Chain A
Amino acid sequence: DAMVIQNPRYQVTQFGKPVTLSCSQTLNHNVMYWYQQKSSQAPKLLFHYYDKDFNNEADTPDNFQSRRPNTSFCFLDIRSPGLGDAAMYLCATSKGTGSIGVNTEAFFGQGTRLTVV
């Protein structure tokens, strides 16, 4: 059974039109991550939550925002998508060091492939 679920798997949006990608988890993990992955590149961390605490990466554009209304759900909002934002967006979760003193592996969803037209 899927433990980290991303919807939709494929998203087409118009240039400049706001779009939201969603992620849900059944693992009750404290940490949730959002990554952007372009073709033949490594996943690039955009931001992550440790519980409700939001941690933004310094080079993440302001165009990218995130919300985590509860433990299970996390959203990625792209306010004005440009052609350069077309990519695979990956969500992941992990238990977090605070809960058991060490962290454990991050579990990934299958990703949402975003196309901007």
Chain B
Amino acid sequence: GESVGLHLPTLSVQEGDNSIINCAYSNSASDYFIWYKQESGKGPQFIIDIRSNMDKRQGQRVTVLLNKTVKHLSLQIAATQPGDSAVYFCAENRSYNTDKLIFGTGTRLQVFP
């Protein structure tokens, strides 16, 4: 079945620490994955993406890891800042199915001083 978001789990971290947010995706045929950040009352904002032929990709302060064997994604945020506080979603794209884009269950990140 499709991933359906329920009540959001929360990750609380101290400012300056590293954060790791995990996501399980549902379809082994998905070939492109995106992490989004969503602040209250706003639309999701692109953070980083990764294609299925890769297992790691790095951006500025963020790294995404992909484990296709267990259908798992993670987002690592280095030196977490208060501005990183938001809800984070992974999304899986299925190019074989007209680029259907399905969101996984999100995680609320809270950064405290």
In the complex formed, the residue of B with least CB distance to A33 is B101
Among B3, B8, B42, B101, contact of A40 (Cβ-Cβ < 8 Å): B8
Known: A105-B34, A106-B34. A50 touches B98 (CB 8 A): yes
| A interface, size bucket | 20 to 34
Among A42, A53, A104, contact of B103 (Cβ-Cβ < 8 Å): A42
CB neighbours of A103 from chain B (8 A): 32, 93, 95, 99
CB neighbours of A45 from chain B (8 A): 100-103
User: Could you tell me if A41 and B6 are in contact, using CB atoms closer than 8 angstroms?
Assistant: yes
Give the residues from 27 to 59 in chain B that come closer than 8 angstroms, CB to CB, to chain A.
32, 34, 36, 41-46, 49, 51
User: Could you tell me if B106 and A102 are in contact, using CB atoms closer than 8 angstroms?
Assistant: no
A102, B49: Cα distance in complex, Å: 12
In the complex formed, the residue of B with least CB distance to A30 is B99
User: Could you tell me if B99 and A94 are in contact, using CB atoms closer than 8 angstroms?
Assistant: yes
User: Could you tell me if A102 and B32 are in contact, using CB atoms closer than 8 angstroms?
Assistant: yes
User: Could you tell me if A55 and B101 are in contact, using CB atoms closer than 8 angstroms?
Assistant: no
Known: A109-B43, A110-B43. A42 touches B95 (CB 8 A): no
Q: Which residues of A contact B (CB under 8 A)?
A: 4, 31, 33, 35, 40-45, 48, 50, 53, 55, 90, 92, 94, 96-97, 102-111, 113
17 contacts between A and B (CB under 8 A): A42-B89, A42-B106, A43-B5, A43-B44, A43-B89, A45-B103, A48-B99, A48-B100, A55-B98, A92-B44, A103-B32, A104-B49, A106-B34, A106-B91, A106-B101, A108-B36, A110-B42
